[in-house]
């Protein structure tokens, strides 16, 4: 019989786990599913951006106003103006990013949008309450979670690392910082070398597969070669302008459930695993989110 | 004007880089493009597996006989028998894996295939000449490169980390180790918690976009819900059985070009970057490969 059909089905048949070094313990997803209502925090609808592709697929993004306030203000103004409606996904580079915006680069920005906001590539760590994750990280001396975000820190500088699904602002060479009209999200191994070099403005909470499964572009850097390959965007709206407003929650990093989840991400002891890692990459400990039940 | 169209176009217009802390230096891809012929090593065709999907797309995989010899011997026997011909891609889970093999799990294995090889999840570090990468890693005390592979090490145990594009062997719960008939490749942030829990048998060198851009499965774990959603595999052949045999090379990790490449991956100083990272995740320093010119 061909083996492996159940690869990573880790919740089944503990009786089969004869080689497991200890009794199976809950998996990260089981821990999250069992988290009590008190462990979840509402995300305000005005902190959500809903992008609807012409094919009907929806992508829901949480904005990061505490991390890149001027860029996020621009994005809210762009959504309010319907500026992205009729623009398109123009670039899909494998193991890197999907990028969208105005392919012509000629569409005027609304007056409320600052063309060159400050370089919001990091922020002071003071004012943040970071739950440190006790792991090594190649890019920062310390990593952890704060306010529902994975974060990295050195001294008094903190930033949002470029994990899978994070949303950043396209820009040209410095001193340009990008307006927020041209955006990308990560669809591969975290390109952390971009950290502190670009404004990170959010995270895809839902629907990223509508972007990550798009055909890769064959022009340089994964741009689509022909205009007809671009994927049209029907509209982008702030969550507070959608009826009914989208209701999402994140798992509070100060909750016992989050502590158990983070520990289990580093030390899998469900039946499939013979050898827990003892560590975890910050991008492998994403903050759990859910639709508010 | 909308900004960002040129995001990450890092080779242009050094004159614009007024905020760069130093004169731009070559990017990793420029260093690789300039590497002399002597820095490249041939990969034997018998160490390559060529999978052709029914739609004509080709995926080329380098096998890792030094890391999982019995599993790789099985895979060579399966390719020689044409066993995978007519099987399918059955699972596509976003930010995780694409998995292929016999969906029925009922197709008999050729007699030359050992149904339960040893657990080749790591190997002795002795006998390896590892070029250590001076970075922190969340999963191993030491990482580096050897024989054209990214590797991780603790004490005398070494293994191939689950970076983007690595190929592993599906298995059921222990003591099953998987035969090598059911395979997966990583299409998201490296799921390093699988390291040392599964046999890693290769790396996709070319064509991964034919797998990573497939529609995501909507059943549990990203399996396709309906049989007709599966993506048929026309054939899988060992490179030495293909005419003309595929000719691939990897950049020798002992070469000066590799040293410059690895340094540049950790410290981008091309015009786009204001702040080099000073470190790099091992999975962000993949061994460069090319078709032999």
Q: Summarize pLDDT for B144-164 with one digit per residue, the tens.
A: 999 999 999 999 999 999 999
pLDDT at A139 over 50: yes
Q: Does A228 touch chain B (CB under 8 A)?
A: no
pLDDT at A7 over 60: no
Distance CA A38, CA A41 (A): 8
Interface touch A2/B106, C-beta < 8 Å: yes
Lowest mean pLDDT among A47-61, A269-283, B177-191: A269-283
Nearest to B188 among A164, A172, A175 (CB): A164
For B73-107, write each residue's pLDDT tens digit: 999 999 999 999 999 999 999 999 999 999 999 99
pLDDT at A20 over 60: no
B279 vs A contacts (CB less than 8 Å): 138-139
HSE-CB at A121 with a 13 A cutoff on CA atoms is 18
3-state secondary structure B95-146: CCEEEEECCCCCCCCCCCCCCCCCCCCCEECCCCCCEECCCCCCCCCEEEEE
pLDDT band at residue A22 under the 50/70/90 scheme: low
pLDDT at A15 over 50: no
Nearest to B105 among A2, A171, A273 (CB): A2
B109 vs A contacts (CB less than 8 Å): 2
Bigger pLDDT: B16 or A107?
Answer: A107
pTM of the model: 0.93
B173 vs A contacts (CB less than 8 Å): 6, 12-13, 16-17, 271-272
- Average pLDDT of the residues in A115-130: 96
Q: Which residues of A157-193 are buried (b: 16+ CB within 10 A; e: fewer)?
A: ebbbbbbbbbbbbbbbbbebbbbbbbbbbbbbbbbbb
Q: Does B105 touch chain A (CB under 8 A)?
A: yes
CB pairs under 8 A between A and B: 272
In chain B, the DSSP E strands lie at 40-43, 48-53, 58-63, 88-92, 97-101, 123-124, 131-132, 142-146, 149-154, 157-159, 166-169, 183-186, 200-206, 231-238, 248-251, 289-291
pLDDT score recorded for residue B17: 37
Full pLDDT tens readout for chain B, 293 residues? 233 333 433 223 323 334 445 578 899 999 999 999 999 999 999 999 999 999 999 999 999 999 999 999 999 999 999 999 999 999 999 999 999 999 999 999 999 999 889 999 999 999 999 999 999 999 999 999 999 999 999 999 999 999 999 999 999 999 999 999 999 999 999 999 999 999 999 999 999 999 999 999 999 999 999 999 999 999 999 999 999 999 999 999 999 999 999 999 999 988 889 899 999 999 999 999 999 99
Burial (CB count <10 Å: 0-12, 13-18, 19+), residue B122 = buried
pLDDT band at residue A271 under the 50/70/90 scheme: confident
């Amino acid at each position: 019989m061909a083996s492996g059909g159940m690869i990573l089905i880790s919740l089944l048949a503990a009786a089969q786990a004869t080689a497991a070094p200890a009794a199976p313990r809950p998996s990260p997803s089981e821990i999250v599913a069992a988290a009590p209502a008190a462990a979840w925090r509402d995300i305000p609808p005005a902190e959500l951006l809903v992008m609807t592709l012409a094919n009907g697929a929806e992508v829901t993004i949480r904005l990061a106003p505490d991390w890149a306030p001027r860029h996020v203000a621009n994005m809210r103004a762009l959504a309010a103006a319907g500026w992205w409606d009729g623009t398109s996904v123009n670039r899909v580079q494998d193991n890197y990013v999907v990028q969208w915006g105005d392919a012509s680069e000629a569409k005027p920005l609304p007056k409320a949008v600052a063309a060159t906001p400050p370089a919001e590539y990091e922020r002071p760590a003071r004012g943040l309450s970071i739950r440190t994750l006790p792991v090594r990280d190649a890019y920062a001396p310390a990593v952890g979670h704060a306010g529902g975000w994975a974060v990295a820190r050195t001294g008094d500088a903190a930033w949002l690392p470029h994990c899978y699904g994070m949303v950043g602002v396209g820009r040209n060479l410095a001193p340009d910082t990008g307006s927020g009209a041209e955006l990308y999200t990560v669809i591969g191994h975290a390109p952390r070398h971009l950290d502190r070099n670009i404004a990170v403005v959010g995270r895809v909470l839902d629907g990223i597969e509508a972007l990550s499964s798009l055909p890769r572009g064959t022009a340089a850097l994964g741009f689509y070669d022909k205009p007809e390959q671009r994927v049209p965007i029907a509209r982008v709206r702030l969550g507070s302008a959608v009826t009914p407003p989208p209701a999402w929650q994140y798992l509070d990093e100060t909750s016992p459930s989050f502590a158990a989840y983070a520990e289990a991400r580093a030390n899998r002891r469900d039946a499939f695993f013979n050898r827990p890692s003892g560590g975890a990459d910050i991008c492998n400990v994403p903050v759990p989110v859910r639709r508010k039940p």
